[in-house]
Structure 1
Amino acid sequence: MKRQILTVATAVALMFGASLPIADAATYSNGTATATLTVSLTLQANCSIAASPLNFGTNGVLATAINQQTNVAVTCTNTTPYNVGLDAGTVTGSSVTSRLMAGTATGNTATTVGFQLYQDSGHTTVWGNTQGTNTVAGTGTGAAQSIAVYGQVPAQSTPKPDTYQTTVTATVYF
């Protein structure tokens, strides 16, 4: 009987708009609040460089010039001016104006083959490492930019058979 009275009382209370104390009404608010969040990024001038090998192939007597081409890839932030330089290489006695490759066989490292690196396919502008004089200038776009390197082994006295090589460092100045 007590249960029936409680159920009837609840039904009557709901019919007349009364509410039962189920939970605190403040937790069911329909309001909102906002805040702002500052997001930032500082980009500074920056560049990277990658170089592909230059291989003159396999040859015999160096009676005629051997020409080959490779590329360096420069990636700089958009609008960043840059210069790309190529040094003389690692062989003793090599210079930007007279580059050398040395033999790799034991006892043959003093034997050399001359070669040159150029900025143009006509082999007229030697590529060096002095900014504003013999480097290649450009402006970054934010994407990789490919720059051709033209190599030539001119006709010369042919040394003994061996693999001749050097390591040339490509530098991007920005």
Structure 2
Amino acid sequence: MMMTTPKRIRVLAAVLAAVMPFTTGAAVYSKSKSSTFDVTMRVVADCTIAANGIDFGQTGVITSALTGSSNINVTCTNTTPYNVGLDAGTGAGSTGTTRFLSGTGANVDTVAVNLYRSAGSSLWGNTQGTDTLAGTGTGTAQTLTVYGEIPVQKAPTPDNYKSTITATIYF
């Protein structure tokens, strides 16, 4: 008995369907060889720094010292030694650790301000090894506190007083 073409296709399809579940369709090899490769990265000494301002609020006659503080956030690679310095700022007459806040416009008055590495201790400057703050990186953020003081002084002209201080990390 001779099969018709459509019947032959159905029989062939049935035979293939019976055989196919036992194969994956992918070739199976009996041999293999391997090779390795490195994945690398170089970590270099590095630091970042971010500083927040100090606002002493408002006052009239400065008959007692005003205090305030702020934070500097330092992140350095683990074991990286660093020093953080504060420049004199932009206040008129500021130099070294002697700092002033300046008035605006034609107002030439200034307000003295002191910045310390710890409450009531040494002034914070920008000379490495002398008046900077030293530390060692841990690989995570470290918070350093800046302590500020407006000492008792002659009352300046009413105005808004300001100085911009630059915090620098040396590593």
Gaps of 5+ in 2: 16-25
Deviation at 1:96, TM superposition (A): 2.5
Partner of 1:158: 155
CA distance in 1 between counterparts of 2:89 and 2:97 reads 11
CA RMSD in angstroms comes to: 2.4
CA distance in 2 between counterparts of 1:91 and 1:120 reads 22
Gaps of 5+ in 1: 15-26
1:130 maps to 2:127: yes
Partner of 1:172: 169
Tell me, what secondary structure is at the counterpart of 1:83?
Answer: strand
Q: Give 1:24-173 correspondences, 5 Å limit.
A: 28-31=27-30, 32-104=32-104, 106-108=105-107, 110-121=108-119, 123-173=120-170
Deviation at 1:124, TM superposition (A): 2.4
- Could you tell me the TM-score, scaled by structure 2's length? 0.83
Contact (CA 8 Å) 2:82, 2:169: kept in 1 or not? yes
Contact (CA 8 Å) 1:96, 1:127: kept in 2 or not? no
CA distance in 1 between counterparts of 2:142 and 2:60 reads 35
Aligned residues: 156
2:122 maps to amino acid: T
Contact (CA 8 Å) 2:92, 2:110: kept in 1 or not? no
Deviation at 1:99, TM superposition (A): 0.4
CA distance in 1 between counterparts of 2:91 and 2:53 reads 17
Per-residue Cα deviation, 1:75-125 (whole angstroms, up to 9, x for no partner): 000000000000000123102332000002x211x210001100111x220
Contact (CA 8 Å) 1:99, 1:114: kept in 2 or not? yes
Tell me, what secondary structure is at the counterpart of 1:82?
Answer: strand
CA distance in 1 between counterparts of 2:137 and 2:121 reads 26
- Could you tell me the TM-score, scaled by structure 1's length? 0.82
CA distance in 2 between counterparts of 1:36 and 1:74 reads 39
Deviation at 1:3, TM superposition (A): 4.1
Per-residue Cα deviation, 1:35-62 (whole angstroms, up to 9, x for no partner): 3221000000000000011111111111
Tell me, what secondary structure is at the counterpart of 1:164?
Answer: coil
CA distance in 2 between counterparts of 1:33 and 1:146 reads 53
CA distance in 1 between counterparts of 2:118 and 2:134 reads 13
